[in-house]
Chain A
Amino acid sequence: MDSPSDAEVIGRSLDEPEAFGLVYDRHAATVLRFLGRRVGAEAAEGLLGELFRIAFERRKTFDATRANALPWLYGIGSNLLLKHRRAEARRLRASARMAAADHAADRRTSAAAFDARVLFPRVADAIDSLPDSEREALLLFVWEELPYQSVAEALELPIGTVRSRLNRARARLRELLEPNGKGRERSR
Chain B
Amino acid sequence: MKPVDLAKKLRREAAFEPAVLDRGKAALMAAIRQEVQPMRRPTIIPRLPYENVGAALSFLERAFGFREVAAARGVRADGAIDYTMVEFGDGMIGLGAQGAHGAFSPKRAGTASQYITVHVDDIDAHHQRALASGAEIVSRLHDHLRDYRVYEALDLEGHRWRFLQWLREVPQSERR
> How many residues in A have their beta carbons less than 8 Å from beta carbons of B?
44
Residues from chain B with Cβ under 8 Å of A127 in the complex = 7, 10
Q: How far does the Cβ of A97 sit from chain B's closest Cβ, in whole Å?
A: 10
Most chain B beta carbons < 10 A, residue from A25, A33, A49 = A49
Determine whether A17 belongs to the interface, using a CB cutoff of 8 Å to chain B. yes
The A contact surface, by secondary structure, is: helix
Asked if B31 is at the interface of the complex by the 8 Å CB criterion, the answer is yes
Complex alpha-carbon distance, A146 and B16, angstroms: 23
What CA separation (Å) do A49 and B27 show in the bound complex?
Answer: 7
Q: Which partner residue on chain B sits nearest A38 by CB separation?
A: B14
B125 within 8 A of A: no
What's the minimum C-beta distance from B87 to chain A, rounded to whole angstroms? Answer: 22
Contacts of A56 in B (CB 8 A): 28, 31-32, 35
Task: Give the residues in chain B near A45, CB-CB below 8 Å.
Answer: 16, 20, 23-24
Within A48-68, the residues touching B (CB, 8 Å) are: 48-49, 52-53, 56-57
Q: Are B7 and A138 in contact (CB under 8 A)?
A: yes
Q: How long is the Cα–Cα vector from A170 to B4 in the complex, in angstroms? A: 7
Closest beta carbon of chain A to B174's beta carbon, Å: 47
> Do the beta carbons of B7 and A123 come within 8 Å of each other?
yes
Residues of A contacting B15 in the complex (Cβ-Cβ under 8 angstroms): 41
Identify the closest chain B residue to A123 (Cβ).
Answer: B6
Contact across chains for B14 and A37 when beta carbons are under 8 A apart? yes
Q: Is the CB of B7 within 8 A of A142?
A: yes
Say if the beta carbon of B46 comes within 8 Å of chain A: no
Q: How far is the CA of A38 from the CA of B29 in the complex (A)?
A: 25
Known contacts: A28-B25, A32-B20. The answer to whether A119 contacts B6 by CB under 8 A is yes
Checking B6, B13, B21, B31 against A29 with a beta-carbon cut-off of 8 angstroms, the contacting residue is B21
* Docked complex Cα distance between A53 and B32 (Å): 8
B8 to A, closest residue via Cβ: A142
C-alpha spacing A98/B32, complex, angstroms: 40
Residues of chain B from 20 to 60 with CB closer than 8 A to chain A in the complex? 20-21, 23-25, 27-29, 31-33, 35-36
Tell me which of A32, A53, A120 contacts B21 (CB under 8 A). A32
In the complex, the chain B residue whose C-beta lies closest to that of A52 is: B28
Q: Are B20 and A99 in contact (CB under 8 A)?
A: no
Q: A56-B28, A56-B35 are in contact. Are A36 and B16 (CB under 8 A)?
A: yes
Which of the listed residues B13, B14, B27, B31 has the most CB atoms from chain A within 10 Å of its own CB? B14
Please name the residue on chain B nearest to A124 by beta carbon.
Answer: B10
A112 located at the interface, meaning its Cβ lies under 8 Å from any Cβ of chain B in the complex: no
30 contacts between A and B (CB under 8 A): A17-B32, A17-B33, A20-B28, A20-B32, A21-B29, A24-B24, A24-B25, A28-B25, A29-B21, A32-B16, A32-B21, A41-B14, A44-B16, A49-B24, A53-B28, A53-B31, A56-B28, A57-B35, A92-B10, A95-B11, A99-B9, A123-B3, A123-B9, A124-B10, A127-B10, A138-B4, A139-B7, A142-B8, A143-B8, A173-B7
Given contacts A32-B20, A142-B11, 14 further A-B contacts (CB under 8 A): A17-B36, A18-B29, A21-B32, A28-B25, A29-B21, A36-B14, A49-B24, A52-B24, A52-B28, A99-B9, A119-B6, A120-B10, A143-B8, A174-B3
Closest 10 CB pairs between A and B? A36-B14, A173-B3, A41-B14, A95-B12, A143-B11, A95-B10, A17-B36, A123-B6, A52-B28, A99-B9
